[in-house]
């Protein structure tokens, strides 16, 4: 018995410092929310099939910059910086985007140069998320293989010269569990979301377009334009599990009321 408990004590002593080291090795320092576009549509029923026909809606578009001890990580790149700050009204059934601030200007304000960004990951290849990928020609692009290779009328989804790591599922980006890409297909074939563990704020799950608004998260609504309804529902169930497991908050990229309650760069979450 005595030998056994001694063995157990030695084993525990070996585990304890390892656990402490793991907690300390979470290298995320802070996360900024960047203004990446503001949109208006005259008909929100594209996201809520059969409901809200002809109901106008304002949406936002967010990018997130994470400062990690190993380098900067940018999540989503928004509508292109070439978008007008005040465009004329477009097709009421579509979305008219404007860009009150460029991504480039916001990074400059933070003292971050494009080459300082070690990794760029986009949730998917719709233009309101991948519009500025080529502002970062040297940054390693982290994208699902299924998204990268998703047929696009014979045109590549990304510049073939851009350094890329094609993922097939989840990826612990820095190897310390602090920033994890989560495969959430359905909206597009290789859609992905991001789980970030901040030192004080705690865990945050960034949706990409796995969900568009709080209302369609709560109703588990699937927008008409999603490529796979069943996978969308499965991805949302997986996200709900992750929220519970990690005591995480859900930050919905396009949800305007939610973002209006959040701090925008240069303020940050740590």
- Interface contacts to Zn ion, rule CB under 5 A: 126, 209
Min dist. Cβ of residue 128 to Zn ion (A): 7
Q: Kindly state the smallest distance separating residue 162's Cβ from Zn ion, in Å.
A: 20
Q: How far apart are CA 173 and CA 175, in angstroms?
A: 6
Residues 226 and 132: their CA atoms lie apart, in Å, by: 23
Q: Is 68 or 191 the residue whose CB approaches Zn ion more closely?
A: 191
Task: Report the Cα 141 to chain-centroid distance in Å.
Answer: 13
What number of other Cβ atoms are within 10 A of residue 85's Cβ?
10
Closest approach of Zn ion to the CB of residue 124, in Å: 6
Q: Considering beta carbons, is residue 209 or 255 the nearer one to Zn ion?
A: 209
Contact between 112 and 65 under an 8 Å Cβ cutoff? The reply is yes
Give the neighbor-by-neighbor strand order of the sheet with 164-167: 95-98, 28-41, 57-68, 71-75, 117-121, 140-144, 164-167
Nearer to Zn ion, 176 or 209 (CB): 209
Token pair belonging to 111: 């003292």
Residues 6+ apart with CB under 8 A from 270: 29, 30, 31, 198, 199, 200, 201
Q: How far is the CB of 192 from Zn ion (least distance, A)?
A: 12
Strand 57-68 relative to strand 95-98, pairing: unpaired
d(CA 54, CA 52): 6
Q: Whose Cβ is closer to Zn ion: residue 142's or residue 198's?
A: 142
CA distance 103 to 52: 32
Closest CB to Zn ion among residues 35, 209: 209
Distance CA 36, CA 229 (A): 27
Q: How far is the CB of 129 from Zn ion (least distance, A)?
A: 6
Nearest approach in angstroms of CB 104 to Zn ion is 22
CA 264 to centroid of chain Cα atoms = 16
Assess contact for 133 and 77: CB atoms under 8 A: yes
Least CB distance to Zn ion at residue 22 (A): 35
Q: Give the nearer residue to Zn ion in terms of CB position, either 81 or 209.
A: 209
State which residue, 88 or 151, has the beta carbon closest to Zn ion. 151
């Amino acid at each position: 018995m005595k030998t056994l408990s001694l063995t157990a004590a030695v084993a525990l002593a070996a585990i304890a410092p390892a656990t402490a080291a793991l907690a300390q090795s979470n290298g995320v320092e802070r996360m900024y929310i960047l203004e990446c576009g503001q949109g208006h549509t005259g008909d929100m029923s594209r996201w809520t099939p059969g409901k809200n026909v002809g109901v106008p809606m304002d949406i936002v578009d967010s990018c997130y910059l994470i400062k990690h001890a190993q380098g900067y990580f940018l999540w989503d790149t928004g509508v292109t910086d070439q978008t007008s700050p005040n465009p004329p009204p477009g097709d009421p059934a579509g979305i008219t985007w404007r860009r009150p601030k460029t991504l480039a200007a916001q990074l400059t304000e933070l003292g971050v140069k494009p080459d300082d960004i070690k990794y760029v990951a986009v949730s998917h290849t719709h233009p309101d998320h991948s519009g500025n990928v080529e502002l970062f020609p040297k940054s390693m692009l982290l994208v699902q293989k299924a998204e990268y290779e998703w047929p696009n009328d014979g045109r590549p989804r990304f510049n073939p010269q851009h350094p890329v790591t094609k993922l097939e599922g989840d990826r612990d980006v820095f190897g310390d569990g602090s920033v994890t890409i989560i495969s959430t297909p359905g909206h597009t074939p290789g859609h992905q979301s991001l789980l970030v563990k901040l030192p004080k704020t705690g865990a945050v799950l960034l949706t990409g377009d796995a969900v568009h608004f709080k209302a369609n998260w709560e109703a588990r609504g699937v927008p008409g334009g999603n490529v796979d309804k069943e996978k969308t529902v499965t991805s949302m169930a997986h996200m709900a599990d992750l929220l519970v497991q990690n005591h995480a908050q859900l930050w919905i990229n396009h949800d305007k009321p939610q973002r209006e309650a959040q701090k925008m760069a240069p303020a940050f979450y740590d």
